[in-house]
């Protein structure tokens, strides 16, 4: 992705409108802002992707941090219902608000730990209720 | 007040002394007795005043106490308010508090739909173990999970993943207490693995097609790479401004242009053919006319020869010879038209 500095204004807008059949949203490369931001916020659930963003110094960019703050509208209705990877995506969005985590995720060890622990938890969370 | 009372007492004492003095001298004086009575009355008045004074003092003390109590209460209230204010200021402002209060009603159907939508990303398909040994008891405390670091869990996923499979869930015993029992349970599968009932490694995929399939609760990198964001980046890399650019629309437009171009070519080709056809017909017509004219001329020449043989030599040439071809020509043209049709 682009590594040039972004404009601060990119995060100062309101959340995009919820998709509607009749709406005539402007499209960016064939996709609405809603679709792009939904995809991005879900991609953030992938620790390797976040690690990649950290390695490109995105997480130290104040504009990007402001954008992460702006993306928190996905944790509220009516946007919440469109997220299909709720477990990891919402937790990562919460963690990314913390400056310490934004620095720590640069470490491959932490990234690997998040992936493996996530995989373990994905299998174990429903076993606990069984046993 | 004290001085006043003291003065009254002094007067009473003096008057009394005067009276006693006069009595001891056996010359009782009425004036002295009156003075004593008067002084005594004044003393009583003074005492009454003292009583009022004392009462007032008591009242003042009481009021002072009340004031102090109220002051203390006020101070307490103010300090409580101050504490409250500090606490309020210390609480991080939650931007979304009004949104939280908003109710977002949803139906059961919507909830079930959502559950169905997310279930494929939250619950692994049956048989997927993610390297977790399902035959052992589930970790009972979060501390257990914390104790096993990433490397440890990775090691178990490689080494101890053999006991997985669909049958594992059924044998997951309910062992509430970790410790001795836990270690016992963890030994059981290792014993059974060595037993005869355990399938050879090469046959396991036949029983469980998802033997080593990983399951993630987040989109994989490949998925991210093939998504809309990647397309967006691709457009930027190609130097196209993605804003208001729709690849589908663009494709449709290109197709439409292609179609238009083909249509135009087809039209041009048809026009050319039409023109060619017209020219060809024109040429044919002209050729036919020339042929006809030639035939007529031949016929005319032949007729003149015959007429010349019938007519008298004196009538040869002139008017009748010119009228005859007209008549023939007219008939021939009719004939010609019919042929063409």
Say whether residue A4 is in contact with chain B using an 8 A CB cutoff.
Answer: no
Most B CBs within 10 Å, among A34, A112, A123, A126, to test the B interface: A123
Question: Which helix or strand (DSSP H or E) is residue B145 part of?
Answer: helix B142-147
B189, B153, B183: which is closest to B170 by C-alpha? B189
Q: What does the pLDDT average to over B96-119?
A: 78
At B40, the pLDDT band (50, 70, 90 cuts) reads: confident
Are A123 and B233 in contact (CB < 8 Å)?
A: no
Secondary structure class of B234 (helix, strand, coil): helix
Stretch among A41-55, B188-202, B229-243, B277-291 having the lowest mean pLDDT: B188-202
At B103, the pLDDT band (50, 70, 90 cuts) reads: confident
CB-hemisphere CA count at 13 Å for B265? 6
Are A123 and B214 in contact (CB < 8 Å)?
A: no
- Angle among Cα B292, B296, B298 to the nearest 5 degrees reads 115
Stretch among B25-39, B98-112, B172-186 having the lowest mean pLDDT: B172-186
User: Across the interface, which of A45, A78, A81 has its CB nearest the CB of B219?
Assistant: A45
Higher pLDDT, B118 or B210: B118
Question: Which structural domain range is residue B1 located in?
Answer: 1-90
For B266, other C-beta atoms within 10 Å of its C-beta total 10
Q: What whole-number distance in Å separates Cα of residue B339 and Cα of residue B54?
A: 156
Secondary structure class of A75 (helix, strand, coil): helix
Secondary structure class of A65 (helix, strand, coil): helix
Are B235 and A39 in contact (CB < 8 Å)?
A: no
Say whether residue B199 is in contact with chain A using an 8 A CB cutoff.
Answer: no
Say whether residue B244 is in contact with chain A using an 8 A CB cutoff.
Answer: yes
Higher pLDDT, A25 or B293: B293
Q: Is the pLDDT of residue B90 over 60?
A: yes
Are A112 and B150 in contact (CB < 8 Å)?
A: yes
B8, B73, B90: which is closest to B46 by C-alpha? B8
Q: What whole-number distance in Å separates Cα of residue B168 and Cα of residue B164?
A: 6
User: Which span out of B96-110, B175-189, B229-243, B299-313 was modeled with the highest average pLDDT?
Assistant: B229-243
Q: Residue B243 forms beta bridges with which residues?
A: A28
Q: Is the pLDDT of residue B152 over 60?
A: no
The first and second tokens of residue A25, run together, are: 């949203």
- Which chain B residues contact residue A85 at CB under 8 A? 118, 121, 217-219
Summarize pLDDT for A87-104 with one digit per residue, the tens: 888 888 888 888 888 888
Stretch among A87-101, B86-100, B103-117, B212-226 having the lowest mean pLDDT: B86-100
Q: Is the pLDDT of residue A118 over 70?
A: yes
Q: What does the pLDDT average to over B233-243?
A: 82
Question: Which helix or strand (DSSP H or E) is residue B180 part of?
Answer: helix B180-194
The first and second tokens of residue B277, run together, are: 């056809």
Domain edges within chain A: 33-129
Q: Is the pLDDT of residue B233 over 80?
A: yes
B8 assigned to some structural domain: yes
Q: What whole-number distance in Å separates Cα of residue B43 and Cα of residue B144?
A: 94
Q: With a CB-CB cutoff of 8 Å, which residues 112-151 of chain B face chain A?
A: 114, 117-118, 121-124, 128-132, 134, 137-139, 145, 149-150
Q: What does the pLDDT average to over A19-23?
A: 68
pLDDT computed for residue B166 by the predictor: 38
Higher pLDDT, B11 or B157: B11
At B308, the pLDDT band (50, 70, 90 cuts) reads: low
Residue in B with minimal Cα distance to A108: B150
B204 assigned to some structural domain: no
- Which chain B residues contact residue A112 at CB under 8 A? 150, 154
Most B CBs within 10 Å, among A122, A126, A127, A130, to test the B interface: A122
Secondary structure class of A28 (helix, strand, coil): strand
Is residue B135 exposed (0-12), middle (13-18) or buried (19+ Cβ within 10 Å)? buried
In Å, how far is A74's CA from the nearest CA of chain B? 12
Q: What whole-number distance in Å separates Cα of residue B141 and Cα of residue A63?
A: 40
B128, B127, B135, B144: which is closest to B190 by C-alpha? B135
For A68, other C-beta atoms within 10 Å of its C-beta total 20
B261 assigned to some structural domain: no
Upstream peptide bond of A78 is cis (omega within 30 degrees of 0)? yes
B24, B23, B41: which is closest to B32 by C-alpha? B23
pTM of the full structure? 0.49
- Which chain A residues contact residue B117 at CB under 8 A? 84
Q: What does the pLDDT average to over B27-49?
A: 84
Q: What does the pLDDT average to over B296-309?
A: 73
Are A46 and B169 in contact (CB < 8 Å)?
A: no
B7 assigned to some structural domain: yes
- Which chain A residues contact residue B228 at CB under 8 A? 29-31, 35-36, 39
Q: What percent of chain A has pLDDT over 90?
A: 1
Are B219 and A47 in contact (CB < 8 Å)?
A: no
Say whether residue A15 is in contact with chain B using an 8 A CB cutoff.
Answer: no
Count interface pairs A-B at CB distance under 8 A: 147
At B218, the pLDDT band (50, 70, 90 cuts) reads: confident
Q: Is the pLDDT of residue B259 over 90?
A: yes
- Which chain B residues contact residue A48 at CB under 8 A? 221
The listed CATH number (1.10.10.1340, 2.40.170.20, 3.30.420.40, 3.40.50.10860) that belongs to domain A33-129: 1.10.10.1340
B215 assigned to some structural domain: no
Stretch among A65-69, B42-46, B111-115, B317-321 having the lowest mean pLDDT: B317-321
Q: Is the pLDDT of residue B194 over 60?
A: no
- Which chain A residues contact residue B154 at CB under 8 A? 112, 116
Q: What does the pLDDT average to over B213-229?
A: 84
pLDDT computed for residue B195 by the predictor: 52
Are B137 and A30 in contact (CB < 8 Å)?
A: no
Q: With a CB-CB cutoff of 8 Å, which residues 28-87 of chain A face chain B?
A: 28-31, 35-36, 39-40, 42-43, 45-49, 72, 76-78, 81, 83-87
Q: Is the pLDDT of residue B207 over 60?
A: yes
Contacts with B163 (C-beta within 8 Å, 6 or more apart), sequence order: B133, B134, B135, B136, B189, B192, B193
pLDDT computed for residue B163 by the predictor: 39
pLDDT computed for residue B304 by the predictor: 67
- Which chain A residues contact residue B217 at CB under 8 A? 45, 85, 87-88, 118, 121-122
CB A117 within 8 A of CB A47: no
Secondary structure class of B64 (helix, strand, coil): helix
Looking at the structure of chain B, the number of domains it has is 1
Stretch among A36-40, B69-73, B172-176 having the lowest mean pLDDT: B172-176
Are A85 and B118 in contact (CB < 8 Å)?
A: yes
């Amino acid at each position: 992705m682009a590594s040039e500095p972004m404009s601060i204004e990119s995060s100062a807008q309101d959340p995009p409108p919820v998709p509607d059949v009749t709406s005539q949203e402007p499209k960016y490369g064939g996709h609405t802002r809603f679709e792009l931001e939904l995809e991005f916020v879900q991609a953030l659930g992938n620790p390797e992707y976040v690690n990649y963003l950290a390695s490109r110094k995105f997480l130290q960019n104040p504009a990007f941090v402001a954008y992460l703050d702006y993306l928190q509208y996905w944790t509220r209705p009516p946007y919440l219902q469109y997220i299909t990877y709720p477990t990891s995506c919402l937790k990562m969005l919460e963690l990314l608000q913390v400056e310490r985590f934004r620095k720590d995720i640069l470490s491959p060890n932490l990234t690997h730990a998040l992936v493996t622990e996530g995989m373990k938890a994905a299998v174990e969370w429903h076993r606990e209720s069984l046993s | 007040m004290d001085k006043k009372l003291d003065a009254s007492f002094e007067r009473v004492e003096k008057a009394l002394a005067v009276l006693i003095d006069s009595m001891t001298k056996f010359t009782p004086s009425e004036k002295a007795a009156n003075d004593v009575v008067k002084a005594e009355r004044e003393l009583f008045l003074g005492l009454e005043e003292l009583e009022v004074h004392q009462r007032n003092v008591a009242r003042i003390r009481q009021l002072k106490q009340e004031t102090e109590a109220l002051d203390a209460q006020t101070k307490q209230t103010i300090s409580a308010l101050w504490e409250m204010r500090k606490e309020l200021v210390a609480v991080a402002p939650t931007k979304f508090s009004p949104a939280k209060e908003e109710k977002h009603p949803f139906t059961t159907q919507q909830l079930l739909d959502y559950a169905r939508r997310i279930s494929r990303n939250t619950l692994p398909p049956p048989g997927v173990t993610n390297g977790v040994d399902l035959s052992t008891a589930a970790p009972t405390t979060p501390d257990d999970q914390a104790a096993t670091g990433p490397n440890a869990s990775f090691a178990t996923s490689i080494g101890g993943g053999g006991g997985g499979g669909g049958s594992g869930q059924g044998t997951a015993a309910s062992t509430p207490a970790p410790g001795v029992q836990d270690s016992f349970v963890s030994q059981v599968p290792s014993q059974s693995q060595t037993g005869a009932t355990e399938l050879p490694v090469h046959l396991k995929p036949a029983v469980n097609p998802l033997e080593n399939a990983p399951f993630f609760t987040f989109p994989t990198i490949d998925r991210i790479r093939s998504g809309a964001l990647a397309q967006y980046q691709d457009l930027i890399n190609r130097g196209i401004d993605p804003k208001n650019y729709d690849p589908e629309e663009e494709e449709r437009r290109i197709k439409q242009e292609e179609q238009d171009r083909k249509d135009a070519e087809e039209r041009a080709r048809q026009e050319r053919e039409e023109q060619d056809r017209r020219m060809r017909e024109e040429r044919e017509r002209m050729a036919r006319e020339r042929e006809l004219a030639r035939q007529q001329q031949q016929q005319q020449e032949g007729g003149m020869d015959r007429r010349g043989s019938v007519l008298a030599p004196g009538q040869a040439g002139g008017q009748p010879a010119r009228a005859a071809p007209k008549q023939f020509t007219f008939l021939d043209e009719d004939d010609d038209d019919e042929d063409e049709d």
